[in-house]
Amino acid sequence: MIILKRYKVTDINKFKRFIFLTTLLIGFIFTSFINAYSKDISQFDYITIQEGDTLWSIAANYSSNKDIREVIYHISKVNNIHNSHIYPGDIIKVPLN
């Protein structure tokens, strides 16, 4: 047997405050998820491999103050490169951040 309760609003100001705070909380949670997701999205530069290019030389051009080995790792991970073989004409994505 289900017992239904009826709720009466005795103080309209408390009810309005409750609705406002609930809406504010839901909006805050929603924007937090959006911000967390947007930080995971990287920007890429697309490079066409030329004769003589290596992952090391490409990483050296894009690593401002990072370790080149770390940049090579990220380039390899993004492009699913399991070894260091790249060929002229290949197009690879280089993470900018």
CATH of domain 43-95: 3.10.350.10
pLDDT of residue 42: 66
- Domain locations along the chain: 9-41, 43-95
pTM for the full model? 0.55
The C-alpha atoms of residue 57 and residue 91 are separated, in whole angstroms, by 15
Give CA torsion, residues 76, 79, 82, 86, to 10 deg.
Answer: -90
19-70 per-position pLDDT tens digit: 999 999 999 998 887 776 665 566 888 999 999 999 999 988 888 788 889 9
Q: What is the pLDDT, as a whole number, of residue 41? A: 60
Mean pLDDT of 60-89: 88
Residue 37: its pLDDT value, please? 67
